[in-house]
Structure 1
Amino acid sequence: MNKKNILIVILILYRFNHLFAEAQRSAKLVAYDSIVVPGQEVILSAKLEKKILFFRPDVKGEKLFFYIDNKNMGESVTDNDGFAYLPCTIIKPGIFELTVKVSTASEFFSDTASAKIFCSDKKKPTIIVDIDHTVADVSWLGYITRSNIKVKPLKNAPEILQKLSKKYNIIFVTKREDVFLRKTKDWLKMYKFPDAPVFFWDWGNYPISSAKYKSERIKKLKQIWKNISIGIGDRDTDIEAYLENGMKVIKIGKENKIIPNVTFVSDWEEIGNSLFGK
């Protein structure tokens, strides 16, 4: 091998080593939506993971900074599962912007993560809404293989939910893994759904069963907003989770059977008529 080829090989190896070192330091930071009652404490949460191809190892021992509406609320260190938590108290009702950043002293680098804090009276009636085949005309598998622009909402879903949000709190609870958090929120915003908290499934932290996951998630949410009374979904697992939490159920998809506290509808127009008493 002549000197020129040796030099080329050295440069290639140097570049590869540089890219590998950068990949080792690249991380993904995720911030999560929260709900709270005025004057009560809320636990803000975020998670830091490495970005290594399809793997996402948790990053522990890293300092994260939390901001609400650009005000520094404090810092917290990620635990063994990559999570960092920070308690704070929200005084007045409203929707507040949460921003989380990795310390500039960290060996890892990541984009800033954002989420929202929804503060409302605990007695206000609240609706839980599924996403796939409930507001999005797509299956879970179809969603992860398509761009947002190719996923359409079910007819009238954005408009009906916007109207319902004047009377009810809305919460989206989905079995989608939180790796799709940003994509899902962008889709909801694109089609003008109401600004509402979205709660995702996380591998390793919730049951694999959709019914068990949603039941557990809703049970925790009801400890904060007491009047979560209606659930809208399209699957039997949705019905199971909602009924376990003592909720009235609206299931999209007509069926020739009668289940106590379950209403079967064909579309969102029927849902609107049902909840607006038409």
Structure 2
Amino acid sequence: MIVLGSNTLSRAESKTPAIIVPYDSITYPGIEVWPQAKVVVKKFYGSEQPVGGERIEFLEEGKYLGLALTGGDGDGVIRYIPYGEGIRRIRIRLYHTSGYKSEDAEMFVGVWSRSRPIILVSVDALKERQKEVVFPFMGKLSKETDWKPAAFAVDVLSDMSKRFNIVYLYNGSLTDFQKMRSWLSMNKFPVFPMIIWNNNINYIKRLISDRGKEIKGVVLNIEEEVDLFQNKQLRMFRISWKKEKSKNKDEFKNISIVTDWREIRKGLF
């Protein structure tokens, strides 16, 4: 018995660590959507390498939804038709015979009709702005979970979630996506889908085209995100330092520059 246990442990330890990255999405009740996930391994200097030829399983509340085979880009998809409104949680895991090991991932699919407005929120706008560090490496935040929520962000978003559906926008490393989701949960932000738009620009464009009448506002932070929405007929807000506010007003004339999440609540309600 001891020998068998040791062999099992040895096989598990010999597997290569990988990360499953879920691609959240939104759809309408009764309309098919294609849940997609990517399998990657983290290489030196933070680079990511997709893993092809891996089987990944999709489950919802214990019900088996399907099996997908990842392609050369590491992506695997299945066909899925949700019924009834709400947020579907889909668990994704590697097939048990895989030569890789990974924690299960959770995907959110927002199933919403056109009756409720939508707010797009950059996750960078939810973080407290880090003050400039005078001495290099002193006071630097080392982990995603070390960030504190921006003042009033949790309370304002919680209030807004009673009247709006929220779509979080994530722009960062794929391997840190789950850490960002854990940070949102740990800090009690309302649970909604988080779209990875840095690798999915076309999806964001389709989202705006399809749901444009329902999207009532966009909350941004960094300039790269501003460019994506600059020419859209959307109410845009940008979180800024107070000392930056006057300068940014000239730079971004079509955006409401705010210094506090409470100003966003006033602007939307």
- Give the alignment's TM-score, normalised by structure 2: 0.80
CA 1:201–1:250 in 2, change beyond 3 Å: closer, same or farther? closer
Aligned to 1:234: 221
1:119 counterpart (88, 111, 132)? 111
Q: Cα offset for 1:147?
A: 5.2
Gapped regions of structure 2 (runs ≥ 5): 1-9, 131-136
CA deviation string 1:161-193 (max 9, x = no partner): 111111111111122222111111111111111
Q: Secondary structure at the match of 2:183?
A: helix
Q: Secondary structure at the match of 2:49?
A: coil
Q: Which moved more, 1:51-60 or 1:117-126?
A: 51-60
Larger Rg: 1
Aligned to 1:220: 206
Aligned to 1:99: 91
Give the length in aligned residue pairs: 244
Aligned AA for 1:79?
G
Gapped regions of structure 1 (runs ≥ 5): 1-17, 207-212
CA 1:55–1:272 in 2, change beyond 3 Å: closer, same or farther? closer
Matched, 1:169 2:165: yes
Matched, 1:34 2:21: no
Identity of counterpart residues, as a percentage? 27
Q: Cα offset for 1:268?
A: 0.9
Distance in structure 1 (CA, Å) of the matches to 2:84 and 2:255: 35
Aligned to 1:248: 235
Distance in structure 1 (CA, Å) of the matches to 2:221 and 2:49: 33
CA 1:94–1:138 in 2, change beyond 3 Å: closer, same or farther? same
CA 1:55–1:156 in 2, change beyond 3 Å: closer, same or farther? closer
Q: Contact conserved, 1:158 with 1:193, CA < 8 A, in 2?
A: yes
Q: Cα offset for 1:83?
A: 0.4
CA 1:144–1:32 in 2, change beyond 3 Å: closer, same or farther? farther
Aligned to 2:73: 81
The 4+ residue runs of structure 1 with deviation greater than 4 A are: 51-55, 141-144, 258-261
RMSD: 2.7
Q: Contact conserved, 1:37 with 1:224, CA < 8 A, in 2?
A: no
Q: Contact conserved, 1:34 with 1:118, CA < 8 A, in 2?
A: yes
Aligned to 2:147: 151
Aligned AA for 1:237?
E
- Give the alignment's TM-score, normalised by structure 1: 0.78
